[in-house]
Amino acid sequence: IGTARMICAVLPYMRAQNAGKIISIGSVAARIPIPFQSMYSASKAALASMTGALRLELKGTGISLCVVEPGDTSTGFTAAREFAAGTGQHSCYQAPCEHALNAMMHDEIHGKSPETVARAVVRLAGKRRMPARRVVCMDYKLLCLAARLLPVRVVEWVLGLLYLKSKKDAGYRYAKK
């Protein structure tokens, strides 16, 4: 909601100048939903859809929009993660949720640097024409392409392998706060 409010606040000024660039930070999760991160994935998909709609609505105004979609990035996100009391305890979801969180924690801690994402944003800001969406890093570009080309059941199988199977040697353990 914050991104939508910010866009609404700046649009009148950009319209008056017949120019402007709006670059939002989304996520690869908009294209490839992550287990036990359904609301996060949905909110990032909504941001991408809003950006696409606004690109059409603002065509010819000199205002361009792009959503940057990084994958795992090594930030304070992992350390700041909070868990709701009783989340997954004594349920059929506890074990798969813990496996998914362990995989996410490992991938986030070993992800690309925030500077990599910042450089992508700066490059986009300098372009005359921005794409609607920009995935950061080649490995995530390939993953998104594979997700578009492969049958859904194959993508879901791969996501299950990545997130729902134990990473015994990962060294990270989901810990309830």
Contact of 95 with 30, CB cutoff 8 Å: no
Give residue 58's pLDDT band: very low, low, confident or very high (50, 70, 90): very high
Structure tokens at 116: 């990599």
| Those residues with Cβ within 8 angstroms of residue 134's Cβ, 6 or more apart along the chain or in another chain | 66, 67, 68, 69, 120, 124
DSSP class of residue 18 equals T
Structure-model confidence comparison of residues 156 and 177, the more confident one: 156
Measured distance CA(55)–CA(120) in Å, rounded: 20
CA distance 70 to 166: 24
The answer, as to whether pTM is greater than 0.75, is yes
Longest dimension (CA), the chain: 57
Query: Is the pLDDT reported for residue 144 higher than 50?
Result: yes
Confidence class for position 88, pLDDT limits 50, 70, 90? low
Q: Are 34 and 104 in contact (CB under 8 A)?
A: yes
At 70-79, the pLDDT tens digits run 988 888 777 7
**Separation CA 69–CA 136 (nearest Å):** 6
Per the prediction, the chain carries an average pLDDT of: 85
Torsion sign over Cα 12, 13, 14, 17:
positive
| Sequence-separated contacts (24+) of 95-99 with Cβ below 8 Å | 96/35, 96/36, 96/164, 97/36, 97/174, 98/174, 99/163, 99/164, 99/165, 99/166, 99/167
| 48 alpha carbon, distance to own chain's centre | 10
Q: Are 66 and 124 in contact (CB under 8 A)?
A: yes
Q: pLDDT tens, 7-31?
A: 999 999 999 999 999 999 999 999 9
